[in-house]
Amino acid sequence: MIRVVLIDDHEMIVQSVVRLLRDGPEIVVVGTALNATKGIEVSRLEQPDVIIIDYTLPDMDAPRAIRTLRSVCPGAKVITFSGSERPGALYESMRAGSSAWVTCEQEVQRGSLRPERSRIFEVPYFE
């Protein structure tokens, strides 16, 4: 069983991703949070295998949160989920310890994200 924590500040996104992941027989969502601080606490308590985190959160930037998550859950893979076009965002997440960067196809359709960024980027873990 793959244990997942989801951190995103949009309740509708959280609910949608939880429903999507619930369809996977090997996946169980063990916690959700609407900000990084709560997400870090939930992750520390639940020790998930995977943490999905939105790049843009109200209380801290994702790279800072990812560094903290990697220290409290060293065995977890962190996936950054975002449509951010902010220059350097992908690389900041990589350096912080994100294992992948997932962009939203909806962002491409709305024109707020370039089509070539609408895929999953696997990134190496940097110490």
- Give the per-residue pLDDT at 112: 44
- Please give the model's pTM, rounded to 2 decimal places: 0.81
Q: How far apart, in whole angstroms, are the C-alpha atoms of residue 115 and residue 4? A: 28
pLDDT digits (tens, 9 = 90+) for 84-101: 667 778 888 889 999 888
In the chain, at which residue ranges do the beta strands (DSSP E only) sit?
2-7, 27-33, 50-54, 77-81, 100-102, 120-122
pLDDT digits (tens, 9 = 90+) for 8-55: 999 998 999 999 898 888 999 999 999 999 999 999 999 999 999 999
**Is the pLDDT score of 127 beyond 70?**
no
* CA nearest to 79, candidates 55, 59, 60: 55
